[in-house]
Structure formats: structure tokens, C-alpha cells
Amino acid sequence: MSTRFFWFAAVLSIAVNATATDTWSVLDYGAKGDGQTDDTAAFQNALNAAGQASGGVVYAPRGNSFFAGHLTVPPAVTLKGVWESVPSHNGLRDTGLPKPTDDGTTFLVTENAGNEAGSPFLTLNHNSTLKGVTIHYPNQAVDAVPQAYPYAIAMRGKNPAVLAVELLNPYNGIDASQNERHLIRDVHGQPLRRGIFVDVIWDIGRIENVHFNPWWSLNPILFTWQRENGEAFIFGKSDWQYVHNTFCYGYNVGYKFIESATGHCNGNFLGIGADNCFTALKVEQCSPVGLLITNGEFVSFLGLDPTMIQVGTNNTGTVRFVNSSFWGPCNQIAKIAGSGTVGFSDCTFFQWDGRNEGRHAIQAESGSVIVRGCEFHEDKPQIELSTGVRRAVITDNLIRGRKRFFNNSTGNAVVANNVSDEVSDIIISQQPLSLTVVAGSSAEFAVIATGTGSLTYQWRHNGKSLPNTDTNRLLLSGIQLANAGTYDVIVTSSLGSATGGPATLVVQVPPILSVPPVGQQISGGQSATFTVAATGNPPSAYQWLFNGAPIAGATGSELIVSNAMTAEVGAYSVVMSNAAGAITNTADLALLDLKMFAGVVIDAGPGTSFRVEFTTDVNTPTTNWNALGTITPDRRPSYFFHLDSPGEPRRFYRAVPLP
């Protein structure tokens, strides 16, 4: 035994001496690794020594290092533990498996509990690396709503790297923002709120072989919170981002793409996966250059509206899925909005409409859509194109069961060469035509089809079957606004079925007065305002009249009569009209306490101002006339009335142009 001991010691001595110039041990700076003594200062001193020597490796041997503070890794320095490949410590969840303090190099982090905005535990800088350690937050409870902490790791500068690191249970994992060419490789664990955050990247960042799985805790309280709040991968500005072989399980959002203060993401994503996430991949915004996603697998089946792919209303960029699989009893595979482009090529779709509510696998509200060469493995509705879809190419797809596409796009859509299991000999020679009718009237849609044997018909309104509609004609009587929308008909023979339509029904409603104009009595020289409102479809146009004659430019819902005098007294009418009809309503304007006022008529166009003056003696020198006020005409002629004149002695008035 003693011979073997001295041989080992000799070998160890040679290894240490060979690397003494570029390797520092934290033990030489006072680190204990006993899980109780604060090793923050010892580690930082060792890191600083390596930094002052222009770089090297700071070695943290097997042990449990306790940290009450945080660390900064200087440029060109590697902080290295014993692990050459990322470990897995399931022991706190599964009895009998290794716990984070049983082996290897473990960092026990405690600083900034409850202070998410505090300093990250460890900050990397230019060319610095963290490798071969487990990061564990021992005060985080496995059976409670998690306590907030800052990011475990922040990557700054150029070429920072995180290699073979286990993020066992951080609240926030890695902040990979404000750097260039970051490298994150072989990282496993269970980040609770955020896994990896990428932003402000102007030169390519790389994320490889990252696996986030609930190895630390599956307690219902904690794991429910994680699924309601957690986001595994978040991408803001990155040009480009390369992501390869990544996976996450049990988050609210697996992969999230956002618009940050500096922009949005374009990137190459190969072999990525998200399982048991409420939304597997969510795009709020991305670059027009594109998110190129290949060989992905996406699974959603829990939450209020489990969805594999969600593209938001603000997206203007391009998202392309190639050779990817989508499965799990979700509500729908994809919900697409925005003005960008979303494409699926050579993909496979399973288990959508898990609650049997008649939902389509791919639901496109707007933008441009490509679905090409894919396979739909359920005999359920496949694709819905809403009116806002501008362009669509739906071609060369394989469909199990009956083809059920709903195309209500008002843009350009090509739907062709899609092959289903159904065999149909039906030929539709006359499609139902779109109609525009007035509310209260009738409308009739008709289809003419031929096929083997007796044909049956099922008419639908906005995708929902209408009862007792088993003929080739659909008659609607007493039509109201609720009847507006899209109509189609499924024609079935003994050999298959075909769909006629869609046709659109537009329902027009004549104007209905909702706010009538009110008659008014005012004193001379005051203003009167008439207001009116009407409902109808399409919206009403307005034209005001005075004593039966149209008032030029009075085409709004409000009419203002300014400085009303006897000439403005009379009947004010408004005609409310749309394509379905017109109505008229009238209100009167009267003056109270009618009196005779003296004043001036100014026959001048707009643009010149006048000072109005008066005197009781026409022989008074002009410099002694009394000023009443100024007027700037807005029409020709304009009037200035002296409201104090009734009952006063005779007066003379004049208007003097102002320079």
C-alpha cells in the first residue's frame, strides 16, 4: 500500500510542476470546499492572480465550495472543476441517485436571494471560461414557489465560454447578452424562470448540447409554477445565432423570440426540441432574414391553450420549419398572425385538436403561409386561412382521412396537389356565389354537382354545420347581421366527398338613428351645435341641410352654427345614408329675446384684420372714435355686432384695416 501511495504522490508532483506557470489552485488561496466556509474571497484572489499573469487555469478540486458573494473571471482565465463532461445530479428528486454534494466540484450559491436585479453569481469576460462544475442553490426549496435570484452566469466581452456545466436549480441560468461569439456547450440542469437569455449580439453566438430537464424537482407546487412562468430559451437581438442539439421540458414557453431595444433575432436552429411546454415556440418578432429551424421536435398538451407554434401579431419576419415533427394532444399545431411569412416543409403533424373541438392544425390569421410536402396524421381539420392571409401556398401534402382545408383568404392562395385517403368522383360544375343583401331580405346559395349514386349535402356557416340543410340549395330568410360570413357545402357520394365554395354573404343594414339632433333656442350672436349618430352596415355618410338646401362641407356627425342671428334661424336637417338606404331627421334653431343690434358688415376675404370703432357724433375726429374690438373675417361677407347697442343713442360705426 505504501509503495502505491508514494508512486501516486510522485506522479501528482510531476503534473503540478509541469503546469505550475499557468495553473492556480483555489486551495492555495485559502478555499476550504467544506460547504460551510465562505470561499468567495479565496476564489476571487486566485482568479485575480491568474488574470495578473495574463491568463491561465484556476483549478477548483473536488469539494463543495460555499459562496456568500459573487465572482468575476478576468480575461483569458478559465475557472475549472473536475468534470470533463457535464454531470447529472438527480438525487434530491430520486432516492439513490447522486446528489449535488456527493461528488465532483460543486458551487453552493446563496447571494442576492430575493433580489433578481442583483449581481450575477459569476461574470465571464474576454476569452474567459467556466468549465466542469455544478452550480447549486441550496436555499431554494424543492416544494415551494421558487425564490428569485439574479442570473447564475453572465457572459460579457468577446469569446466567453461555458462548457460542461450543470445548472442544477438556478432561478435564472445564463445571461448571454452584450458579448460577441459566446459559446455555451454541454450545459444541463433545471433553470426555473429563465434558462438562457441572448440579446445585443452583433457577431455569431453558439449554443450547443444544452438540456433543461426537471432533474432537481418535480414537486407539484414548484413544477406548476415553472410551467406557468418558465422560459427556457429567450432570443432578442442576435446576428446570427447558431443553436444545435438543445432540449427543454416543462416550461411555459420553450423557445421565445422577442423584439428588444436593439433589435430581433435571425439564426440557424438545428435539432432543437421542446416537450411538455404550454407553447413550444413563440415568435413575437424576428428578422426578415429568418429563423431557420430544421429537424426540430415540438410537444404541447397542457395549459389553457396548448399550442406548438405561436407567431404574434407584431411579427414581420420569416420563420421556416423543415423536416420537423409536431406531436402531443394539443389544441392546434400553429397559430399564425402578423405580416411576416411562416413556412412548414417536409414536416409531420400529430394529435392536434386533442379536445375534439373541430380545430384546424394550422390556423393562419394573417401574413403569408407555406405548407408544402407535409403529412397530417389525423383525420381532423388541417388548415384554416382567414381573411387576413395575404399569400398562401398549400401544395403537395399527404392527409390521413378527408381533406379539410378552410380557405377564406382574400389574398392570393394556391391550394393544389394535396392527396388524402378519400376517393371522390364528384365534379362541382357550379360553385355557390357570394352575395350582398339588405337585412330583413332573403338570400339563396346553390351548388351543382354530379357523382356516383345519390348525393347528400351539408351546408356550413363559418365552418360550422347548419342543421336541416341536405339539398343543393340553401335559402336564408329574414337575414340579420349574424348571418354574415362564409358559407360552403360538403357534397358526398358513395365514393367520397368534395367541398363547394366558400361563398361570402355580406349583410347591409340601412341607417338607424341612435342619437337624434336636438332643436335649440339661443341668444343672438351665440353658437349652436347639432349632433347626430346612426348605426348601420356599411357605416353611414352624413349631409346637413339648412331649410332644405345642402350646406357645403357639412358632412360630419356634428354641425356648428357660429354667431347665429336671424339669417341662421330655421330648420336644420341631416340625411344619413349608406348602400342599404337613407333616413332624414330635422331640428330647428330659434333665437330668444330677439333684439335689433347695430354693427358692421365687412365685405373682405379672409386674411385681413379690422379694428371696429364707433362714435355718437359723425363729426368727431377719427382719432377720438371708440374701439370696440377686432375681427378677422373667416367668410365673405362677415358681420360684427355691437351687443350693447339696443336702447343706446344713435351711433356710427366703421371698420379700420390693420397693418
Give 583-599 pLDDT, tens digit per residue: 999 999 888 765 666 77
In a domain, residue 420? The reply is no
Helix (H, G, I), strand (E, B) or coil at 296: coil
Does residue 172 share a domain with residue 90? Answer: yes
Check if the beta carbon of residue 348 is closer than 8 Å to that of residue 369: no
Check if the beta carbon of residue 499 is closer than 8 Å to that of residue 534: no
In sequence order, what are the residues at sequence separation of 6 or more whose Cβ sits closer than 8 angstroms to the Cβ of residue 356?
none
Q: Which of 155-159, 193-197, 507-511, 633-637 has the lowest mean pLDDT?
A: 633-637
Residue with cell 426578415: 288
CATH number of the domain to which 552 belongs: 2.60.40.10
In sequence order, what are the residues at sequence separation of 6 or more whose Cβ sits closer than 8 angstroms to the Cβ of residue 442?
475, 476, 477, 478, 479
In sequence order, what are the residues at sequence separation of 6 or more whose Cβ sits closer than 8 angstroms to the Cβ of residue 180?
157, 158, 159, 201, 202, 203, 205
In a domain, residue 33? The reply is yes
Q: Is the pLDDT of residue 394 over 80?
A: yes
Does residue 209 share a domain with residue 101? Answer: yes
In a domain, residue 409? The reply is no
In a domain, residue 546? The reply is yes
Check if the beta carbon of residue 362 is closer than 8 Å to that of residue 333: yes
Q: Mean of the per-residue pLDDT values for the chain?
A: 91
Does residue 608 share a domain with residue 471? Answer: no
Q: Which amino acid would we find at residue 546?
A: F
Does residue 563 share a domain with residue 481? Answer: no
Last residue of a domain, one of 465, 491, 508: 508
Domain extent for 90: 24-229
Which triple of cell numbers denotes residue 343? 413556412
Last residue of a domain, one of 566, 592, 618: 592
Question: Around Cβ 34, how many Cβ atoms within 10 Å?
Answer: 11
37-69 per-position pLDDT tens digit: 999 999 999 999 999 999 999 999 999 999 999
Question: Around Cβ 621, how many Cβ atoms within 10 Å?
Answer: 8
Rounded-to-integer distance, Cα 180 and Cα 202, Å: 6
In a domain, residue 209? The reply is yes
Rounded-to-integer distance, Cα 111 and Cα 119, Å: 9
For residue 10, the model assigns a pLDDT of 33
- The mean pLDDT value for 114-134 works out to 97
Pairing of strands 129-131, 161-167: parallel
Which triple of cell numbers denotes residue 647? 336702447
Question: Any bridge partners for residue 263, and if so which?
Answer: 260
Pairing of strands 253-257, 183-189: unpaired
For residue 94, the model assigns a pLDDT of 86
Does residue 219 share a domain with residue 135? Answer: yes
CATH number of the domain to which 33 belongs: 2.160.20.10
Report the helix count and the strand count for the chain, using DSSP H and E: 3, 59
User: In what helix (H) or strand (E) does residue 43 lie, and over which residues does it extend?
Assistant: helix 40-52
In a domain, residue 156? The reply is yes
Q: Which amino acid would we find at residue 242?
A: Y
Tally of CA atoms within 13 A in the half-sphere of 649 that contains its CB: 5
Which triple of cell numbers denotes residue 255? 423557445
Of all residues in the chain, what percent carry a pLDDT higher than 90?
A: 71
Phi, psi of 28 (to 5 degrees): -70, -15
For residue 556, the model assigns a pLDDT of 93
Q: Which amino acid would we find at residue 484?
A: A
Rounded-to-integer distance, Cα 180 and Cα 200, Å: 9
Chain-centroid distance of CA 656 in Å reads 63
3-state SS of the chain: helix, strand, coil percent to 5? 10, 50, 45
Does residue 135 share a domain with residue 110? Answer: yes
Does residue 584 share a domain with residue 445? Answer: no
Which triple of cell numbers denotes residue 637? 361677407
For residue 599, the model assigns a pLDDT of 75
Check if the beta carbon of residue 358 is closer than 8 Å to that of residue 331: no
Residue with cell 395549459: 303
450-505 per-position pLDDT tens digit: 887 889 999 999 888 899 999 999 999 999 999 999 999 999 887 777 888 889 99
Say if residue 308 is exposed, middle or buried (CB neighbours under 10 Å; 0-12, 13-18, 19+).
Answer: buried
Nearest to 535 by CA among 510, 507, 505: 510
Question: Any bridge partners for residue 113, and if so which?
Answer: none
Say if residue 176 is exposed, middle or buried (CB neighbours under 10 Å; 0-12, 13-18, 19+).
Answer: buried
Chain-centroid distance of CA 62 in Å reads 46
Does residue 605 share a domain with residue 562? Answer: no
Which triple of cell numbers denotes residue 313? 401579431
Question: Any bridge partners for residue 167, and if so which?
Answer: 135, 189
pTM of the model: 0.67
Nearest to 405 by CA among 473, 524, 490, 335: 490
Last residue of a domain, one of 458, 478, 508: 508
Q: Is the pLDDT of residue 4 over 70?
A: no
- The mean pLDDT value for 619-642 works out to 82
| Domain count within the chain | 4
Check if the beta carbon of residue 210 is closer than 8 Å to that of residue 191: no
Rounded-to-integer distance, Cα 174 and Cα 194, Å: 8
In a domain, residue 472? The reply is yes
Does residue 497 share a domain with residue 542? Answer: no
Helix (H, G, I), strand (E, B) or coil at 16: helix
Does residue 504 share a domain with residue 472? Answer: yes
In a domain, residue 608? The reply is yes
Rounded-to-integer distance, Cα 46 and Cα 74, Å: 11
Does residue 102 share a domain with residue 209? Answer: yes
Say if residue 442 is exposed, middle or buried (CB neighbours under 10 Å; 0-12, 13-18, 19+).
Answer: exposed
- The separation between the first and the last C-alpha atoms of the chain, rounded to the nearest angstrom, is 117
Does residue 638 share a domain with residue 652? Answer: yes
Phi, psi of 504 (to 5 degrees): -105, 135
Of all residues in the chain, what percent carry a pLDDT higher than 70?
A: 95
CB crowding 505-537: b at 16 or more within 10 Å, else e: bebbbbbebeeebeebebebeeebebebbbebb
Say if residue 25 is exposed, middle or buried (CB neighbours under 10 Å; 0-12, 13-18, 19+).
Answer: middle
Check if the beta carbon of residue 111 is closer than 8 Å to that of residue 118: yes
| pLDDT band per the 50, 70, 90 thresholds, residue 575 | very high
Which triple of cell numbers denotes residue 274? 421542446
12-40 per-position pLDDT tens digit: 333 444 345 799 999 999 999 999 999 99
Q: Which amino acid would we find at residue 529?
A: T
Tally of CA atoms within 13 A in the half-sphere of 552 that contains its CB: 0
Torsion of CA 104, 105, 111, 114, to 10 degrees: -40
503-559 per-position pLDDT tens digit: 999 999 999 999 999 998 888 788 899 999 999 999 999 999 999 999 999 999 999
Check if the beta carbon of residue 374 is closer than 8 Å to that of residue 349: yes
Say if residue 36 is exposed, middle or buried (CB neighbours under 10 Å; 0-12, 13-18, 19+).
Answer: exposed
